[in-house]
Amino acid sequence: MVAKLTKGFWPITARIILRNRILILCLVAGITIFLAMQWDNMRFSNSQANLLPDDHPINLEYQEFLDQFGEEGNAVVFAIRDSALFTPENFNRWNKLSKQLEAFPEVDFVLSTDNLKELVKDTVEQKFVMRPLIEETPDSRAEVNRITQHLFNELPFYENLIYNKESGTIRTVMYLDKDIVNTSVRKDFILQDLSRLIKTFEEDTNFDVRISGMPYVRTMNSQNIIDEIGKFILAALGVTSLIFFFFFRSFRATFISMCVVIIGVMWAFGVLGLLQYEITVLTALIPPLIIVIGIPNCIFLINKYQQEVKKHGNQALSLQRVISKIGNATLMTNVTTASGFATFIITDSKLLKEFGIVASINIIGIFILSLLIIPIVYSFLSLPKTRHLKHLNKRWIDAFVNWMENIVRNRRIAVYIISICLLVVSIIGIYQIDISGSPIEDMPKKAEFFKDIRFFENEFDGIMPVEIVVDTKNPKGVMKPATLRRMDQFGEVIAEIPELSPSLSVVNLVKYSKQAFYNGIPKYYQLPTSQENTFIMDVARKSSDESNLLDSFVDSTGQVARMTTYMRDVKTSRMEQIEERLLENITKIFPEERYSVYMTGSALLFLKGTKYLVKNLVMSLALAIGLIALFMAYLFRSFRMIVISLIPNLLPLIVTAGIMGFIGVPIKPSTILVFSIAFGISVDDTIHFLAKYRQELESKKWQIKKSVYAALRETGVSMFYTSIVLFFGFSVFIISNFGGTVALGALVSATLLFAMLANLILLPSLLLSLEKSIANKNTLKEPQIDILPQDEEND
């Protein structure tokens, strides 16, 4: 019944399209203008991608931390490692820079040698006061040396915060206004005002200023994403148009196809704006993806049009057959491709969900554009010239098809042996795949800001914050000696882990208070003893600045404290070992009945998010396979055919996963996409081949071998064309500066190439070997939908 309906639907559709050409073009133009107007609503992501759902326990803990202590990632750090800094002229210029930074309204405060204060005891008032480190501008080398030696040797509180004693590196820390950290104001400030100020300083002094901190890193990384969108679009257009022209040798056909995909790209940006989704590292891939996926539609439609013209030269009949005969096939293949992307919609990850929604909508959109624009535009043009049809008789294509047919005829055993060997080796490789939870691994390695990340890792042990929140369950419980000792003990555990920086907490402040009580003697930088604690805390309570100092370390009730450390960029397995060790010591040091302690911070948040995405990957891929299986069942109504059709599509995915394991490409947010994307696209070839095979069986009286070879010859050329376009189209992502995007492009390209060979060699081999058990009228019933019209074999 459905098959009969589809037979009538497409001729009617063809008549409607060709009889309302002007109206449809105006409608397309209107929609394009409307979506172009939505571009103003496009927003680039200003915050770190949150891979976990909002109600996830890890997210809730992180939000609780932010509510208590504010935004953790609001520090931008500047550093110089150069002995020439310690001359009066350069040292004063460095201090002037901090004054200039503090003058910006976007800056909350700046901590540097210019405004650094030391805690000292006022013996008269019996309280602590903050005294400036630099009381007068130094005008001699000796004065600068005195200041720096005092800082390096007598103020351990500032070690790893302002200076590195071993290398002599000096650092300035600029804290942005927390209200603007996750807004576009931060981006404008960093890219314009801050960059201009630092450039002027470097030109004046010839120093190389190293800059880092999460706000700066996120801004520069986002800017790289923005820069790459245009590069990808141009590269995708360039590569696909060259390949298209190479196949068709027609400027007209190439130009029409480019117009179709350019409108598709405009629609993609418009949908992003209409839905008000942020442009992230994933959604930035959609415009070039639309180009790569849209060109095969153009190939199918234009190739069919030229075949019809060559056969009978009737333009109206050719255009009508293009729509009625190819429309259903391209719809089915675009639906399966969109399904691969749409599986991300069911995940709880906002990042993947938005990517899946926009990608699937625009894949259907590019199909509609192809089906409408190409026949209508060609209806206004003259018939293709003879030279434009020569590509239909290319000998090298015939040689390729003959090569495949020869393998299927005579080398089936070798095909199975190679397939099994690939399967076994790939499974071994799969067990070697790592999961990467590093938020900076995908960042461009050659970029200056990435080199600066490595500099700060070496000098100050990392830039990714890890927070330990200690709830004493009692107001003012943080300042109790027992709590301080436990926090100090846990700080020693952190210090023993080489990938973590020494912790910064209220413990450091209490140690500093004891040092100040004993007239600043460095050896007293330690927690007070039980006897000392009473009178040192009495002096501290009288200090007017004490409450201000505590704000960064303790909440307003004195019940909850934070311990901040910074982590180097390490492998996920090592990150998990560090987390396990810290949690183990938390349990030992802080009894559960007295303390509630948890770990949070953007570094751990990203790790947990990546692991969560891997679970979603398995779910989305399983759903994609299930959807395609149902689709095959609906089309062919044969369980055996479902199994046969899935084999040549799952094998390339397994091979790709094995390659990832062997060459060390980890599972991460970018490479997670490979499998669902590749499966959704590669199954198109299977549908085309099996539809043609089903048709040939009926026309050739169920003669299996003749049907397989006929289907192979008929579909081999178009599958080769589209696979080459897809291979080189996805290869453009290799030019990216982002490691994950490079891996995505290379892996999808390789997977689609494997899938083409599997569908053209392994699939027909299986059909021939299984013969009667598959191809008979009982197991292969009348399809619910005729993907290819019954008279297609005569074309």
Every domain of the chain and the residues it spans:
2-48+220-431+606-794
- Amino acid identity, position 98: S
Q: φ and ψ at 161, to 5 degrees? A: -105, -45
Query: Which residues in 139-165 are b (16+ Cβ under 10 Å) and which e?
Result: eeeeebeebbeebbeebbbbbbbbbbe
Residues 6+ apart with CB under 8 A from 765: 407, 408, 412, 415, 416
2-48+220-431+606-794 to CATH, choices 1.20.1260.10, 1.20.1640.10, 3.90.226.10, 3.40.50.800: 1.20.1640.10
- Contacts made by residues 159-163, CB under 8 angstroms, sequence distance 24+: 159/502, 160/460, 160/461, 160/501, 160/502, 161/111, 161/504, 162/111, 162/112, 162/113, 162/116
Asked if residue 162 has pLDDT above 90, the reply is no
* Range 251-270 average pLDDT: 89
Q: Rounded to whole angstroms, how far apart are CA atoms 146 and 227?
A: 47
Q: φ and ψ at 78, to 5 degrees? A: -125, 140
**DSSP secondary-structure letter at 352?**
H
Tokens of residue 177, six digits: 């206004």
**DSSP secondary-structure letter at 358?**
H
- Interhelix angle 57-69/602-636, nearest 10 degrees: 150
pLDDT more than 70, % of the chain: 89
* Range 270-278 average pLDDT: 88
Asked if residue 309 has pLDDT above 70, the reply is yes
End-to-end CA distance of the chain: 25
Tokens of residue 778, six digits: 């009982």
Dihedral, CA of residue 763, residue 767, residue 773 and residue 776, to nearest 10: 120
Q: pLDDT for 352-378, tens place per residue?
A: 788 889 999 999 999 999 989 988 988
Half-sphere exposure of 503 (CA within 13 A, CB side): 25
More confident residue, 782 or 242: 242
Element holding 637 (H helix, E strand): none
pLDDT more than 90, % of the chain: 12
Q: Rounded to whole angstroms, how far apart are CA atoms 502 and 407?
A: 64
pLDDT band per the 50, 70, 90 thresholds, residue 573: confident
Q: Rounded to whole angstroms, how far apart are CA atoms 330 and 296?
A: 9
pLDDT band per the 50, 70, 90 thresholds, residue 544: very low
* Range 582-589 average pLDDT: 92
Element holding 596 (H helix, E strand): strand 596-600
Query: Using CA of residue 196, residue 202, residue 208, residue 211, what is the dihedral sign?
Result: negative
Q: What is the pTM of this model?
A: 0.76
Q: pLDDT for 704-761, tens place per residue?
A: 788 888 878 777 777 787 788 888 888 888 888 777 778 888 888 888 888 888 888 8
276: Cα separation from own chain's centroid = 19
Asked if residue 547 has pLDDT above 60, the reply is no
Q: Rounded to whole angstroms, how far apart are CA atoms 151 and 173?
A: 16
Dihedral, CA of residue 487, residue 488, residue 489 and residue 493, to nearest 10: 100
Q: pLDDT for 39-86, tens place per residue?
A: 888 777 656 666 777 778 888 888 888 887 776 678 888 999 988 988
